[in-house]
Amino acid sequence: MAVRVGVIGVGVIGQDHVRRLTHVLSGSRVVAVTDADAARAHEVARRVPGATVRATGRDLIAADDVDAVLVASWGATHEEYVVACIEAGKPVFCEKPLAPSGDAAARIVDAEVAAGRRLVQVGFMRRYDPAYVELKGVVQEGSIGLPLLMHCAHRNASPPPYYEAHMAVTETAVHEFDMVRWLLEEEITAVTVLRPRPSRHGGDVQDPLLLLLETSNGVLVDLETSVNIRYGYDIRCEVVGEDGTAELGPVSPVVVRRDGALTAPVPPDWQGRFERAYDVELQHWVDSVTAGEAIGPSTWDGYAAAVIADAGLRSLGSRDRVPVELRDKPDLYAKP
Ligand code: ISE
């Protein structure tokens, strides 16, 4: 029987997930939606046969016909909804970031540990991107030797209108915080955020930033975040090992030579670049709900990323190197 999913928050990513669950994936159907903007919730529900609108996230979570919940609302609301799902014993997929601070994420860890079983998958979709999966395979099989350095860039053509300075760390770089931990299979131990000459396109938002991440085995990771790069959405990652390097290839497999120029398309935004990753990620969640076992990026992974983001924010303010201090990992998260 199809998993009956309720979706909390139907903005850009929430609507995209509703479309995916309804038309692309197998084994699920959307039965309920809710949004702070009720008109938007009704508009989305009209496009999904059989879906109803619930007045609040809490009503949706409590509904008998909702088996599992997808939280894609504003980050500050995640803690309340994810904890309510855990208390109701319902599996929950929560978009990144899991919570806006390490403390808030720690409370979700506590709730899940108290429940005694994993119910949460966090939306770190890069773990499902075919190129990143292959890159991790090359690094982990050891053919380039021990990793020493990583060079990463996370570039957006332009930020959404609500983008604020801290989001470069909490919403943008947070993807790399998780990706680095996952790819290297080690923890990030310190963050330094440096500010180069600001782009004139940045307005009040300092842009770009250069972050330096240190890991438990001494790998140094430099990460550029640019949210006004203009030319498109561009994600780069190169791992430098003792015996070679491995990097994400160009996004477009097709290069055009014409009129004295060589060109290849760059995706305009993250939806285009990571479409496949989102599909695989959410199918994985639906399958794990059906199997009764949460196995994707965990609450612990969301917590670690939130603590790293806290350190990044402190460094953004002070320009100091800020150590990352995680609490002891509960046994619940012992399995990778
Ligand atoms: C946005 O919130 C996302 O999650 C995108 O994946 C990311 O690339 C972008 O920088 C964020 O602002």
Read off the pLDDT of residues 55-112 as tens digits, 9 standing for 90 and up: 999 999 999 999 999 999 999 999 999 999 999 999 999 999 999 999 999 999 999 9
In a domain, 221, yes or no: yes
CA of 171 from ligand 1 middle (Å) equals 6
- For 14-63, write each residue's pLDDT tens digit: 999 999 999 999 999 999 999 999 999 999 999 999 999 999 999 999 99
Give yes or no: residues 257 and 290 share one domain: no
The sign one gets for the Cα dihedral 16, 17, 19, 23 is: positive
The whole domain housing 134 covers: 127-270+306-323
Q: Are residues 84 and 146 in the same domain?
A: no
Q: Is residue 336 domain-resident?
A: no
Same domain, 181 and 314: yes
- Round to whole Å and give the CA distance between 11 and 67: 22
Which pLDDT score is estimated for 253?
A: 85
Nearest-CA residue for ligand 1 atom 2 is 171
Is 334 inside any structural domain?
no
Structure tokens given for 214: 């240190």
Atom of ligand 1 nearest to the CA of 225: 10
Q: Is residue 316 part of a domain?
A: yes
| Count of domains for the chain | 2
Angle at which helices 130-141 and 174-184 cross, to 10°: 40
Domain with residue 19: its CATH number is 3.40.50.720
pTM of the model: 0.97
pLDDT tens-place string over residues 267-298: 999 999 999 999 999 999 999 999 999 999 99
- The pLDDT score that the predictor gives to residue 149 is 99
189, 312: one domain: yes
Closest residue CA from atom 9 of ligand 1: 172
Alpha-carbon separation of residue 122 from 94, 175, 293 (angstroms):
5, 11, 14
- The CATH number covering residue 197 comes to 3.30.360.10
Closest atom, ligand 1, to C-alpha of 172: 10
Query: Does pLDDT of 1 surpass 90?
Result: no
| Whether residue 84 sits in one domain with residue 149 | no
The distance in angstroms from the start CA to the end CA of the chain is: 29
Res 252 pLDDT > 90: no
In this structure, are 78 and 162 located in the same domain? no
Q: How far is the CA of 169 from the centre of ligand 1 (A)?
A: 11
Distance CA(151)–CA(144), nearest Å, equals 15
Per-residue model confidence (pLDDT) at position 336: 63
Mutate to test the pocket of ligand 1, among 172, 205, 248, 273 (most ligand atoms within 8 A of CB): 172
Please check whether residues 254 and 140 belong to one and the same domain.
Answer: yes
* Cα–Cα distance measured from residue 50 to residue 227, given in angstroms and rounded to the nearest whole number: 39
Per-residue pLDDT tens digits for 213-234: 999 999 999 999 999 999 999 9
Residue 254 has pLDDT above 70, yes or no: yes
For the chain, what percent of residues have pLDDT higher than 90?
98
Residue 152 scores a pLDDT above 70 = yes
Q: What is the spatial distance between Cα 92 and Cα 97, in angstroms, rounded to a whole number?
A: 14
Q: What is the pLDDT of residue 251?
A: 83
287 shares its domain with 254: no
- Is there a single domain that holds both residue 131 and residue 251? yes
Q: What is the pLDDT of residue 335?
A: 75
Residue 245 shares a structural domain with residue 203: yes
Distance of CA 178 from the midpoint of ligand 1 (Å): 13
Greatest Cα pair distance, the chain, in angstroms, is 64
Q: Is the pLDDT of residue 169 over 80?
A: yes
Query: Are both 249 and 179 inside the same structural domain?
Result: yes
Q: What b/e string do you get for 163-193 counting C-beta neighbours within 10 Å, with b at 16 or more?
A: bebebbbbbbbbbbbbbbbbbbeebbbbbbb
CA angle centred on 275, ends 118 and 38, rounded to 5°: 70
- In terms of domains, do 182 and 317 share one? yes
Assign 3 a pLDDT band (cuts: 50, 70, 90): very high
H-assigned helices in the chain: 12-19, 38-46, 57-62, 78-88, 102-115, 130-141, 167, 174-184, 270-273, 275-291, 299-318
